[in-house]
Amino acid sequence: MTDLDRVLADLVIANRILAHEDVVDAYGHVSVRHPADPKRFFLARSLAPSMVGREDIMQFDLEGRPLEGDARQPYLERFIHAAVYEARPEVLAVVHAHAEAVLPFGISGAPLRPVIHSGSFMGEQVPVWDIRDKFGDTNLLVTSMPQGRDLALRLGTHNVSLMRGHGFVAAARSLIEVVRMSVYVPRNARVQMAALQLGAVKALSPGEIAARNAGYKPQSPETQRAWEYWATRAGCGELLKKA
Amino acid sequence: MTDLDRVLADLVIANRILAHEDVVDAYGHVSVRHPADPKRFFLARSLAPSMVGREDIMQFDLEGRPLEGDARQPYLERFIHAAVYEARPEVLAVVHAHAEAVLPFGISGAPLRPVIHSGSFMGEQVPVWDIRDKFGDTNLLVTSMPQGRDLALRLGTHNVSLMRGHGFVAAARSLIEVVRMSVYVPRNARVQMAALQLGAVKALSPGEIAARNAGYKPQSPETQRAWEYWATRAGCGELLKKA
Amino acid sequence: MTDLDRVLADLVIANRILAHEDVVDAYGHVSVRHPADPKRFFLARSLAPSMVGREDIMQFDLEGRPLEGDARQPYLERFIHAAVYEARPEVLAVVHAHAEAVLPFGISGAPLRPVIHSGSFMGEQVPVWDIRDKFGDTNLLVTSMPQGRDLALRLGTHNVSLMRGHGFVAAARSLIEVVRMSVYVPRNARVQMAALQLGAVKALSPGEIAARNAGYKPQSPETQRAWEYWATRAGCGELLKKA
Amino acid sequence: MTDLDRVLADLVIANRILAHEDVVDAYGHVSVRHPADPKRFFLARSLAPSMVGREDIMQFDLEGRPLEGDARQPYLERFIHAAVYEARPEVLAVVHAHAEAVLPFGISGAPLRPVIHSGSFMGEQVPVWDIRDKFGDTNLLVTSMPQGRDLALRLGTHNVSLMRGHGFVAAARSLIEVVRMSVYVPRNARVQMAALQLGAVKALSPGEIAARNAGYKPQSPETQRAWEYWATRAGCGELLKKA
């Protein structure tokens, strides 16, 4: 299996995990940067992530244009991915999703903050991007590079940005990390939501967030353990094999 | 497959999706107007939607009377469908259900409003109909044309009306659209509910709702993607085929 | 199939439904009065309801004593059933369970009330019984006839009584009705809980509750539809057959 | 089957139950003290509990060091188990997990307290340990004996301690008891959370907690009923057999 084969197999796994863990439904998507060409990224054609296979993956440039004459229907919102890869050279994987538990934090004044250790990877602050600020009344979808770039600007150097009335975007240094964030950010949101009903909430400290981030390695046994677990649950454990 | 065959296959799919996505249980139903005769509509006999097959579908006139001498037991509340089709010529599909998440909005003063993009199709306002206002103490079921017409009057030109202490009715220009609303209106309700605990809620603007509505097409790849996804999850993906 | 065979098959179905619909887990139980001898009732031996088969059913007298020399281990709390049958000749079926959603109403001052039509069968009022009032500090279980009788006294002529810090008891004129209450009372509790966060709650009126109760028939198509649906979901649809 | 075989089979069952009942996911673990040597305990290698088999179980001493030259990757947080066994000779089984429902109580001022009978085994008080109090900014994981001992000190003679921003540790006299606590403590947390929204909450009294604790026997039919039920649901019922 070549490096590229491994990356594409992992992208299929990521699609299936996000579907099985209820981060995406028919909508939402995950992409990965081309390992050999930072000006390209991989993203499925317009298809529910639970149904994505290797053959459904397309290549795009950093303007969101399909490559190699691929005429299949792409996701309307591929510009989210393109713009984040363009703005953030260190980012290797991106998720856009509408996980229900994070949505309340995008439409109220309450900031989403890491309050549990597994939520630490969202970072100290999670900005909220409102497409209406710059583009007025739209259908809320990010369907052009200017919209994608405006979102990437709001994301800045953060790992996650909420999108008002719509969902979130998450960016990370690996597919495993972006999937992990996408699974645990909603859990953190549910816990924060409940804790706010109970009283003052003790969030993770900046030092704790930094300590967790410093120690993170995509290839650590702890990280791989979760990837293997989620893939197995999602019914695609066989794709883990390094054939 | 004729147009009528397609419509009936889609009605079976709609039943199964609504059951699988927890919009209906043993109760609740979905109908579609006859594609060639606007004075008729199709609705299953009295049966849980998860168990409905093509052979269970009956035809009714716009007074809720079974056609073609069909003597099977119909749903008691078929008058909801009849009255909405009677009042709204542009409506081609109707759902009545008791999805849990919308019920709190029908019994408290808080109005249900679109706060997430996928909830936009409920429209700017969602009226609440209370059967008690006109009919006094009943068993809350809509079991006659006068009751159905009163509900249709409250629905007016809206897409969704809540029914106090009971459920909701949704009306749309296609089966796919009414199913989509029925899946996402409860999600919107849960998000709105949670956001209200967090503080002031930023709803979709009238312009955003209009922009989303203007761009909606039942045959768009995005819409079909969800239909295919939900049907597959519900175990009736084979009914999607245009045999 | 004799009447008795039918009753016992239905009792197995009731066990499976309550387990599948998350009303009971390893704990909680359902009983039915002997159709020919009102001084006896049927209840499974000490076993999780999901695992109960016809062969696990025991007979008890109205003091909770096993009949016919049956030496198998009975449920500790069989006295709940015995005492309710003793006090209420019209009651033919009893459920005791710990469904999570009703528990908050048993430990706070807020009364559980019917706010949705499917919750109407709990009746206008749902008393809360506290074993501590009469028996002081116990393990909260109803393990004797005096305790069962005290609970039955608090239940009075109501259909449901909460048990503080423990669960509820429901009594009805048929197995189908007691199962239906046990499924929908928790749903009503969740809806009421949410609605209370939204503002003043409009409950069902006494007239509505009476209208629904007056119209209820265990053999109606609407009631049978739910029974068939739940049994099928619980994987025991074949027990519905009148062999 | 020897005693040791039985203990190890039960440890596999405990892993599977905790995974199936949503107490653990890829993270969290359960251990049991060696029945013949109180200075040793059994705990799986670094693996998601849903995937643990007999062959994955390792032995550790009370400093958290693998025994018998076992060079497989252990859990980073094995020191939680080691320190609790060291401090509490009567404890025979330990769980560490991040069950979502208990997390809000670890980050807000509200104390978790037993409010339902099945939650009684957490005891009257549940302390909250904050790793930051003594160790400052860390990644929140318990990765050394000093950290484990500090947690064990906070646990004291209690059965459960919350860990701020992280999870909980539960200690008991048997595997069955620690699993039962780990399943019902989250349920108690959800019920308490909801009841707090409804008004003043009536908790179990100290006398009730004592009465329940006094009557608890791991081999009672009621306890075994739950173990059998959970194991069957988790798909490992065959491991219950005393072969």
Give strand ranges (E) for chain C: 29-33, 40-44, 57-61, 93-97, 128-129, 160-163, 167-172
Average pLDDT over residues C63-85: 98
Written as one letter, the residue type at A66 is P
Tell me phi and psi for residue D38, to 5 degrees: -65, -5
The whole-angstrom separation of Cα B66 and Cα D17 is 51
C-beta of residue A154 within 8 angstroms of C-beta of residue A127: yes
Output the pLDDT for position A240.
Answer: 95
Q: What is the DSSP letter of A31?
A: E
Hey, is the C-beta of D240 within 8 angstroms of any chain A C-beta?
A: no
Residues 6+ apart with CB under 8 A from B37: none
Three-class secondary structure assignment of D112-148: CCCCCHHHHHHCCCCCEECHHHHHCCCCCCCCCHHHH
Output the pLDDT for position B53.
Answer: 98
The whole-angstrom separation of Cα A155 and Cα D228 is 50
Sign of CA pseudo-dihedral D169, D173, D178, D181: negative
Query: Per the confidence metrics, is the pTM higher than 0.90?
Result: yes
Output the pLDDT for position A28.
Answer: 98
Give the three-state DSSP class for C127: coil
Residues 176-205 of A with CB under 8 A from D: 187, 190-191, 194-205
Hey, is the C-beta of B240 within 8 angstroms of any chain A C-beta?
A: no
The per-residue pLDDT of chain C, averaged, comes to: 96
In order along its 243 residues, chain A shows pLDDT tens digits of: 789 999 999 999 999 999 999 999 999 999 999 999 999 999 999 999 999 999 999 999 999 999 999 999 999 999 999 999 999 999 999 999 999 999 999 999 899 999 999 999 999 999 999 999 999 999 999 999 999 999 999 999 999 999 999 999 999 999 999 999 999 999 999 999 999 999 999 999 999 999 999 988 888 999 999 999 999 999 999 999 865
Output the pLDDT for position D243.
Answer: 58
Give the three-state DSSP class for D2: coil
CA–CA distance from D206 to each of C72, C136, D105, D123, D136 (Å)? 34, 11, 20, 8, 35
Alpha helices of chain A — where are they, by DSSP H?
Answer: 3-20, 78-87, 103-107, 131-135, 145-155, 175-198, 206-215, 221-233
Average pLDDT over residues C59-66: 98
The whole-angstrom separation of Cα C141 and Cα B129 is 44
Q: Is the ipTM of this complex over 0.85?
A: yes
pLDDT tens string D80-95: 999 999 999 999 999 9
D23, two tokens: 């107490």
**Considering only CA atoms, which of D199, D170, D212, D196 is closest in space to residue D111?**
D196
Three-class secondary structure assignment of A39-60: CEEEEEECCCHHHCCHHHEEEE
Instruction: Give every residue of chain B whose pLDDT is below 50, as ranges.
Output: none
More confident site: D214 or C234: C234
Q: What is the DSSP letter of C74?
A: B
Best of B25, B56, B113, B131 to disrupt the C interface (most C CBs within 10 Å) is B25
Torsion of CA B158, B163, B167, B173, to 10 degrees: -20
The whole-angstrom separation of Cα B174 and Cα B164 is 26
C-beta of residue B42 within 8 angstroms of C-beta of residue B57: yes
Residues 64-123 of B with CB under 8 A from A: 115-118, 120
User: How would you label B57-80 residue by residue, b for 16+ Cβ within 10 Å and e otherwise?
Assistant: bbebbbebebeeeeeeebbbbbbb
Inter-chain touch A208–D73, beta carbons under 8 Å: no
Hey, is the C-beta of C17 within 8 angstroms of any chain B C-beta?
A: no
Q: Give the pairing type, strands A160-163 and A128-129.
A: parallel
Give the three-state DSSP class for B44: strand
Could you give the angle at the alpha carbon of B79 between the alpha carbons of B76 and B83, nearest 5°? Answer: 170
Residues of D with Cβ-Cβ distance to A222 under 8 angstroms? 27, 46, 76
User: What residue has token string 């069989």?
Assistant: C78
Output the pLDDT for position C180.
Answer: 97
Sign of CA pseudo-dihedral A212, A215, A218, A224: negative
Q: How many beta carbons lie within 10 A of that of residue D198, not counting itself?
A: 19
A209, two tokens: 């967030």
The whole-angstrom separation of Cα A181 and Cα A122 is 7
- Which helix (H) or strand (E) covers residue D32, if one does? strand D29-33
Hey, is the C-beta of C55 within 8 angstroms of any chain D C-beta?
A: no
Sign of CA pseudo-dihedral A55, A56, A57, A60: positive
pLDDT tens string D34-64: 999 999 999 999 999 999 999 999 999 999 9
Inter-chain touch B110–C226, beta carbons under 8 Å: no
Nearest to D117 among C47, C105, C166 (CB): C166
Residues of C with Cβ-Cβ distance to B100 under 8 angstroms? 187, 190-191
User: What residue has token string 């168990």?
Assistant: B51
Give the three-state DSSP class for B33: strand
The whole-angstrom separation of Cα B130 and Cα B163 is 6
d(CA C47, nearest CA chain D) in Å? 6
Give the three-state DSSP class for C129: strand
User: What residue has token string 């996701």?
Assistant: A75
Q: What is the DSSP letter of C41?
A: E
C-beta of residue B243 within 8 angstroms of C-beta of residue B192: no
D55 labelled catalytic: no
**Considering only CA atoms, which of B39, B136, B37, B20 is closest in space to residue B81?**
B39
Q: How confident is the model at residue C151 (pLDDT cuts 50, 70, 90)?
A: very high
CA–CA distance from D131 to each of A208, D34, D117, D152, D157 (Å)? 11, 28, 30, 12, 19
Inter-chain touch B225–A46, beta carbons under 8 Å: yes
Catalytic residue among A77, A100, A124, A208: A77
Q: How confident is the model at residue C189 (pLDDT cuts 50, 70, 90)?
A: very high
**pLDDT of D219 above 90:** no
The whole-angstrom separation of Cα D142 and Cα D152 is 11
Written as one letter, the residue type at D16 is R
Output the pLDDT for position C82.
Answer: 98
Q: Give the pairing type, strands D93-97 and A160-163.
A: unpaired
